[in-house]
């Protein structure tokens, strides 16, 4: 039951099979190609006949996990693309990922954009895989909104087996410290107002200490709402998170509120890295969110070669 609720609250991977996602990818590709190709490619146009057909390959120049195959295939929809490695496959140095047969001018014009997308997405997937190795329990990891290309970054996170968290500000309510400061830190009122909004199904609130965590849980209990809630322990030490969860569970048990047990989920966030994520995963939280998988991942080196 709880596992399903965690996925419902923090994962949006089904979005990556929708027309809206494919449309957003095409718009991003067109924008990046326009930035690179505005006015044409003076070198290629000078050297290569406009009708010249070639075969090219994209190959790995290092080790990692591949992503971005579908996105690159969308970009090259008029060319023949043969996929040799699928999203989530491991690659080593000199492994061929895909073959492209088509117009030379178009392939060369798209070269940098398609490599940038594949290298970034593959870097994110590889980072997720490496982070997941640090966790020896059932705790899941999630991305944050610290992204360069929000939707394709989150797609790469999903390929790696992590949760997407919110894709947009319209996905779920996340009551942050900035919101609280503007409304005079009225925690109960913040939760009540979001719970009363019919458009909102999922409500999460950032807290910064044990007292706020218990206060938030009590406020959620008093609301008697049918919506799903989460408490985000933001920039808190592991011992404080563990104590907070124990206090909340004791409150739930004391009130004999079985329904509330699966209405409040827990997330740890802030200052999480590859060295301490295992410790955070053992605090009792359902999810640990970690920004570095999208804002600091190292691109997997790749190149396009003409054969």
Give the mean pLDDT of 266-286.
95
- Which domain, by its residues, includes 31? 13-129+298-306
Kindly state the tokens that stand for 99. 């073959």
Give 231-271 pLDDT, tens digit per residue: 999 999 999 999 999 999 999 888 877 778 889 999 999 98
What is the C-alpha separation between 3 and 147, in angstroms, rounded?
A: 26
Closest CA to 294 of 60, 117, 120: 120
- Identify whether residues 144 and 113 lie together within a single domain: no
143 near 293, Cβ under 8 Å? Answer: yes
Pairing of strands 264-269, 228-234: parallel
Which of 227, 229, 232 has its CA nearest to residue 213? Answer: 232
Do 289 and 302 share a domain, yes or no?
no
Q: How confident is the model at residue 137 (pLDDT cuts 50, 70, 90)?
A: confident
Read off the pLDDT of each residue in 45-67 and give the average, rounded to a whole number.
Answer: 95
Q: Which residue has the tokens 């399903």?
A: 4
Residue 287 and residue 302 in one domain: no
Q: Are residues 211 and 286 in the same domain?
A: yes
**85 and 165, same domain (yes or no):** no
Whether 140 and 288 map to the same domain: the answer is yes
Average pLDDT over residues 104-126: 95
**Does 32 share its domain with 76?**
yes
Residue 279 belongs to a domain with what CATH number? 3.20.20.70
The pair phi, psi for residue 260, each rounded to 5°, is: -70, -25
pLDDT for 257? 76
| Residue 168 Cα distances to 12, 144, 146, 208, 281, angstroms | 10, 11, 12, 24, 25
On average, the pLDDT of the chain sits at 94
Beta partners for residue 229, in sequence order: 203, 264
State the pLDDT at residue 209.
96
Read off the pTM: 0.94
- State whether 205 and 286 are in the same domain: yes
Same domain, yes or no: 107 and 171: no
Residue 97 is predicted with a pLDDT of: 97
Same domain assignment for residues 162 and 279: yes
Phi-psi region of 230 (alpha: psi -120 to 50; beta: other; left: phi over 0): beta
* Number of domains comprising the chain: 2
Give the number of other Cβ atoms within 10 Å of residue 85's Cβ: 19
Task: Locate 141 and state its tokens.
Answer: 């990891």
Same structural domain, 95 and 222? no
- Here the CATH number for the domain that contains residue 101 is 3.90.1170.20
pLDDT more than 70, % of the chain: 100
144 with 283, same domain: the answer is: yes
pLDDT bin (cut points 50, 70, 90) of residue 78 is confident
């Amino acid at each position: 039951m709880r596992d399903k609720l965690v996925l419902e609250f923090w994962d949006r991977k089904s979005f990556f099979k929708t027309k809206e996602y494919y449309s957003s990818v095409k718009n991003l590709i067109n924008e990046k190609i326009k930035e690179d190709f505005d006015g044409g490619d003076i070198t290629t146009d000078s050297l290569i006949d406009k009708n010249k057909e070639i075969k090219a390959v994209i190959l790995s120049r290092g080790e990692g996990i591949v992503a971005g195959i579908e996105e690159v295939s969308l970009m090259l929809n008029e060319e023949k693309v043969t996929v040799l490695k699928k999203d989530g496959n491991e690659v080593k140095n000199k492994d061929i990922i895909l073959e492209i047969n088509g117009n030379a001018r178009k392939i060369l014009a798209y070269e940098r954009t398609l490599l940038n997308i594949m290298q970034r997405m593959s870097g994110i997937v590889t980072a997720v895989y490496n982070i997941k190795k640090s966790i020896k329990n059932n705790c899941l990891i999630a991305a944050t909104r610290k992204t360069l290309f929000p939707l394709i970054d989150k797609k790469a996170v999903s390929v790696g087996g992590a949760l997407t968290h919110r894709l947009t500000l319209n996905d779920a309510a996340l009551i942050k410290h900035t919101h609280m400061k503007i409304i005079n830190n009225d925690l109960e009122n913040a939760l009540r107002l979001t719970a009363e909004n019919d458009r909102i199904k999922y409500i999460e609130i950032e807290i910064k200490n044990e007292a706020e965590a218990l206060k938030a849980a009590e406020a959620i209990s008093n609301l008697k709402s049918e919506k799903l809630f989460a408490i985000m322990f933001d920039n808190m030490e592991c011992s404080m998170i563990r104590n907070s969860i124990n206090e909340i569970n004791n409150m739930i048990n004391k009130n004999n509120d079985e329904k509330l047990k699966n209405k409040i989920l827990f997330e740890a966030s802030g200052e999480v890295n590859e060295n301490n994520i295992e410790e955070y995963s053992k605090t009792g939280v359902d999810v640990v969110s970690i920004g570095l998988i999208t804002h600091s991942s190292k691109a997997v080196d790749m190149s396009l070669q003409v054969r």
